Amino acid sequence: MFTLLLSFFIVAQAQEVATAEAFKVDSVGIDSLSPEEMSMPWDKRVKIELDKLAREADNAYFHTGICVWDLTADSFFWGYNQRKVMRPASTQKVLTAISALSVLGAQHDIRTRTYYTGSIADSTLNGDIYVIGDFDPMYSHGDLKELARAIRDFGIKRVNGTIYGDASMKDSDLYGSGWCWDDVPSKYQPFLCPLMVERGRMYPNFGSYSKDPSFHPATHFAYSLSQELKNLGVTRPQGTAIDYGMKEWPGSGTLLNNKIRTIEQIMQRMLKNSDNLHAEAMFFQLANFNKSKRCSWKDGARQVENVLRKAGASTTYVKVADGSGVSLYNYGSAETQVAMLRYAYKTPSIYKSFYDALPIAGVDGTLDTRMKTGNAYRNVRAKTGTVEGVITLTGYVTASNGHLLAFSILINGVLTGSTARDYQDRFCQELAR
pLDDT in tens, 400-421: 999 999 999 999 999 999 999 9
In the predicted structure, residue 377 carries a pLDDT above the cut 50: yes
Burial readout 84-107 (b: 16 or more C-beta within 10 A, e: otherwise)? bbbbbbbbbbbbbbbbbbbbbebe
- Alpha-carbon span 96 to 137, nearest angstrom: 15
- Alpha-carbon span 47 to 74, nearest angstrom: 17
pTM of the model: 0.89
What is the per-residue pLDDT across 339-358, written as a single tens digit (0 to 9) for each? 999 999 999 999 999 999 99
- Alpha-carbon span 275 to 90, nearest angstrom: 9
Report the chain's terminal Cα–Cα distance, integer Å: 51
The answer to whether the beta carbons of residues 347 and 102 sit under 8 Å apart is yes
E-strand ranges in 44-135 read: 63-70, 75-80, 109-116, 119-121, 124-126, 129-132
Query: In CATH, what number does 109-262 get?
Result: 3.50.80.20
Burial class (CB in 10 A: 0-12, 13-18, 19+), 38: exposed
Q: Which of 213, 231, 214 is nearest to 144 (CA)?
A: 231
pLDDT grade for 13, boundaries at 50, 70 and 90 = very low
In the predicted structure, residue 204 carries a pLDDT above the cut 70: no
Q: Which of 386, 299, 275, 320 is nearest to 178 (CA)?
A: 320
* Mean pLDDT in residue range 238-261: 96
Burial class (CB in 10 A: 0-12, 13-18, 19+), 371: buried
Residue 67, φ and ψ in degrees, nearest 5: -140, 135
Per the prediction, the chain carries an average pLDDT of: 90
Q: Which CATH number fits domain 22-105+270-432: 3.40.640.10, 3.90.1170.50, 3.40.50.300, 3.40.710.10?
A: 3.40.710.10
The answer to whether the beta carbons of residues 71 and 406 sit under 8 Å apart is yes
Q: Which of 414, 408, 390 is nearest to 340 (CA)?
A: 408
Which of the residue ranges 21-35, 165-179, 259-273 would you say has the lowest mean pLDDT? Answer: 21-35
In the predicted structure, residue 21 carries a pLDDT above the cut 90: no
Domain extents in the chain = 22-105+270-432, 109-262
